[in-house]
Amino acid sequence: MNLRYLIPLFDSSVKEWALEARLLRWLTFLWLFVGLVMLFSASYAVADADFGDGLYYFKRQIIWVAVGLVGFGFLVHSPLRYILAIADWFLLLLLGLILLTIIPGLGTSINGANRWISLGSYALLQPSEIIKPFLVLQSARVFGQWERLSNSTRIAWLGIFAAVLVGILLQPNLSTAALCGMVLWLVALAAGLPYLHLGATAVAGLGAAIVSISIKEYQRERIMSFLNPWADPLGNGYQLTQSLMAVGSGGFAGTGFGLSQQKLFYLPIQYTDFIFAVFAEEFGFIGSMLLLLVLAAYATLGLKVALKAINPVHRLVAIGVVILLVGQSLLNIGVATGALPTTGLPFPFFSYGGNSMIASLLLSALLIRIAREGSEAKVVSLEHRRTYRRQRDSLPGA
């Protein structure tokens, strides 16, 4: 592979790509650029207070973007069949790391959750984030070939998928487990699996969520604060009330870039889970609608790529990517605006975090690769038809 492909911003081969692939590439970079600008604004004050360097979080995010772009460049230039062939091994490796996080002494605990593995003093690996692209790949591979698989293979992979969800749930991380479960379920639905099996799985998943909420007190408190955050605005409802005040303060046109007041030590975790509230305060209703239009355009292009894909497994991968990137963004926005209970899900390309950034860039690269292969397959098919017609017409008596 040419090394220049690993620097996607300077990839000269882009002009040869399909239109959908080029549009998705530029939408991805636009999304990423706006996210970095927003992270700079949302994190500067708290970084300056905590570390004496207002660019602390921004500089670290840039490093993770650079790492993620290398993976991005590799994936958009690698045939998807090769990536699919090794997806199962990566999934199993990351499942093992997820299980390691819940073993006392091995996982790193932050705010009572064991979701990370320390990679030294500078980085934390969060397997439940990195596993998302490979969960999409392997679920598409399994459900896309469901009819051709033996019962033992089906049961084995369903067991592995269940182990991933249970492992994430035990960290505990209900929101990520629920999101991954929804992705698996929707990919299976798109693959045409029997409705009876899908219905039974949905009931089981809902039951697991209810059990988790009934056992974990902090999850029950999140539900109660969501229903009425103003009942305890200085306690359990503090995050949501501050977020709502930030969104409301933005008004129609926003306060202006960098001029959010809520980010100044009022709104908690303003550079991760509630970064959209800062965006809404600074850019207002107009900016928020433009951001939603970007997400809508991304989803439309992604679904168009899925519909044009000739390979059914590729189609399911495209659907899974759209669900994760756009769906997770809408869930994050729903939390910030009080439409959904607090989940802790990051906003792709916006929220601070290297694991989320790398996973998001890998997912977007998969979608772009599918757009490229779908177009190239159609070109090859058209050339074969033209060659066949020329050969047929040259036959004697034709």
What confidence score (pLDDT) does residue 5 get?
57
Q: What's the token pair of residue 335?
A: 């939390």
Interacting residues of 174 by C-beta distance below 8 A, sequence separation 6+: 209, 212, 213, 216, 219, 343
Q: How far apart are the first and last CA of the chain?
A: 45
Q: Does residue 241 belong to any structural domain of this protein?
A: yes
Q: What is the mean pLDDT of each run of 10 residues along the chain (398 residues)?
A: 59 85 96 98 96 96 96 95 96 96 84 82 87 97 95 96 94 90 96 93 87 76 77 83 94 95 92 96 97 98 95 97 97 93 91 96 97 68 48 48
Q: Does residue 393 belong to any structural domain of this protein?
A: no
Q: Does residue 388 belong to any structural domain of this protein?
A: no
Number of domains in the chain: 1
Cβ contact 295:34 at 8 Å: no
Q: Does residue 46 belong to any structural domain of this protein?
A: yes
Q: Taking each helix axis from N to C terminus, what angle separates 217-227 and 195-215, rounded to the nearest 10 degrees?
A: 100
Alpha carbon distances (Å) from 322 to 163, 168, 299, 300, 365: 24, 22, 6, 9, 12
What confidence score (pLDDT) does residue 57 get?
96
Q: Show the beta-strand stretches assigned E in the chain.
A: 108-110, 113-118, 124-125
CB-count burial class (<10 Å; 0-12, 13-18, 19+) for 398: exposed
- If we measure between CA atoms, which residue out of 303, 355, 362 comes closest to residue 327? 303
Give the number of other CB atoms < 10 A from CB of residue 229: 21
Interacting residues of 391 by C-beta distance below 8 A, sequence separation 6+: none
Q: Does residue 396 belong to any structural domain of this protein?
A: no
What confidence score (pLDDT) does residue 381 get?
43
- If we measure between CA atoms, which residue out of 326, 328, 366 comes closest to residue 128? 328
Cβ contact 57:43 at 8 Å: yes
What confidence score (pLDDT) does residue 108 get?
84
Q: Does residue 389 belong to any structural domain of this protein?
A: no
CA angle, residues 48, 50, 55, in degrees to nearest 5 = 35
What confidence score (pLDDT) does residue 382 get?
42
Q: Does residue 261 belong to any structural domain of this protein?
A: yes
Q: What is the 3-state secondary structure (H, E, C) of 249-307?
A: HHCCCCCCCCCCCCCCCCCCCCCCCCHHHHHHHHHHHHHHHHHHHHHHHHHHHHHHHHH
Domain span at residue 251?
Answer: 3-375
Q: Does residue 358 belong to any structural domain of this protein?
A: yes
What confidence score (pLDDT) does residue 220 get?
76
Whole-prediction pTM value?
0.91
